[in-house]
Amino acid sequence: MTEHSEGMPDMGMRMSGIMTTEFVSPGHPDKVCDQIADAIVDKALSHDPKSRVAMEVTGGHYGLVVIGEITTAEQFDIAKVVKEIYKSIGHNDHDLGVFVNVVSQASDIARGVDIGGAGDQGVMTGYAVRNPEGNHMPPVYMMARALTQKMTDLRCTGTTCLRPDGKSQVVMMDGKVTHVILAAHHAADISTDDLRQLLLEQVIRQVVPATDPVMVNPVLFDQAIYLTDGISGNVVINGTGAFIQGGFNADAGTTGRKLIVDNYGPNVEIGGGCYSGKDPTKVDRSAAYFCRFVAKSIVAGGLATEALVKVGYAIGVPTPSFVTVQTPLLLEENSKLQAHILEKFDFRPAAIIERFGLQRPVGWCYRETAAAGHYTDPKFPWEKTVDI
């Protein structure tokens, strides 16, 4: 099961050696845009499950632009949705200007989607890897996400010096954390030293195992220190010092700019299309979720330690152009598994939408995927598994 045949990718290489990835908080400008775009998708589907939505959001310096297409049975106030989401994230800018330029879906696209065809061309991927936590995600990715989530949890449970913006980055060597980098948006009335001590104790020490190299002798630096020997402890918190300006007050954001964060980190290839702002007829989203579902089922079922599933579509065509399954199995075994996957799973866009109930979310919403990650949450239907 662990041998590799000539011509097949070494899936284990994706999870060995030196790896790094980042994650960003829900208040990061790019993630604010993703959440707003997906809140518009949620609103449209709540009125009309057959809604077609393709939203692009960009914002910066107290202004925000929403452009794109919506075809839905009931119109709603997009600017109102934008302001509600921005405020709910924790940003308190009351003079946020919103410009909306939205039209109906082009008829040339609609005629292909109406008969069950893909809403766009492209390639989508889904990945899973065996790990002790059982979530089948890359450990370095999960560590970076856990650090950012811990900062958000602290803020939401009363740590008033923290603000919504922020990000994390983790370096791991052979499964052990060697470097942690945090950028934490904060109030003006806390010193850099106090903030660093707070985050070291209440975030990093709560998430990173005490036995990992970075925690054996963590050192706080005033400036960012780059990886040198890969083993000495290194913690960087707000490497430039203060991070008082955050959100759109400090930086611009755009929907879909955090593609690696939305997927599996930089060690796993992705399809290239963003998820947020798109209704499920857009295969960039729905087919990527389905590929994850298939890959996770392969790994959860013990058929391989890692799996990468790829699918490609032509716009307006229901049948995929191709489906491939890559695992560490020998070539012949992998070929048999791929053939079995093609027999067992229906990759047509309409079938995916129906299987997961993507036009009528129950117990979950698309904005949640944009805020904290599209994978691992058990309430998302594509995170379940089936026997193969």
Angle, in degrees to the nearest 10, between helices 349-356 and 283-300: 70
72 three-class SS: coil
Distance CA 158, CA 352 (A): 41
Indicate if 252 belongs to the active site.
yes
Indicate whether 318 pLDDT > 90.
no
pLDDT tens by residue, 121-138:
789 999 999 988 889 999
Q: Which residues contact 134 (CB under 8 A, 6 or more apart)?
A: none
Indicate whether 117 pLDDT > 70.
no
pLDDT given at position 6 = 41
SS (H, E, C) 310-324: EEEECECCCCCCEEE
pLDDT given at position 1 = 34
| Active-site position among 252, 314, 350, 351 | 252
| Active-site position among 145, 167, 179, 296 | 167
| Active-site position among 14, 22, 23, 28 | 28
236 burial level (CB within 10 Å; 0-12, 13-18, 19+): buried
SS3 content of the chain, % helix, strand, coil (to 5): 35, 20, 40
pLDDT given at position 13 = 54
Indicate if 296 belongs to the active site.
no
Indicate if 31 belongs to the active site.
yes
Indicate whether 328 pLDDT > 60.
yes
Helices (H), the chain: 29-47, 78-89, 107-113, 139-156, 192-199, 205-207, 213-216, 259-262, 283-300, 331-344, 349-356, 366-372
Average pLDDT over the chain, rounded to whole? 88
pLDDT given at position 204 = 95
Distance CA 156, CA 158 (A): 6
| Active-site position among 34, 284, 306, 383 | 284
For residue 371, what are its two tokens?
A: 């805020």
pLDDT given at position 58 = 96
Distance CA 306, CA 19 (A): 17
For residue 356, what are its two tokens?
A: 């997961």
| Active-site position among 30, 212, 279, 306 | 30
Angle, in degrees to the nearest 10, between helices 331-344 and 283-300: 120
The structure tokens 């604010």 sit at: 32
pLDDT tens by residue, 96-105:
889 999 998 7
| Active-site position among 43, 83, 257, 310 | 257
Q: Confirm if 378 and 287 have CB atoms less than 8 A apart.
A: no
- Report phi then psi at 212, rounded to 5: -75, 150
Indicate if 258 belongs to the active site.
yes
Domains of the chain: 12-24+139-246 (3.30.300.10), 29-108 (3.30.300.10), 122-132+266-383 (3.30.300.10)
pLDDT given at position 261 = 96
Among 159, 157, 161, 165, which Cα is nearest to 182's? 165
Indicate if 56 belongs to the active site.
yes
Distance CA 46, CA 317 (A): 27
Indicate if 384 belongs to the active site.
no
Q: What is the pTM of this model?
A: 0.91
Indicate if 69 belongs to the active site.
yes
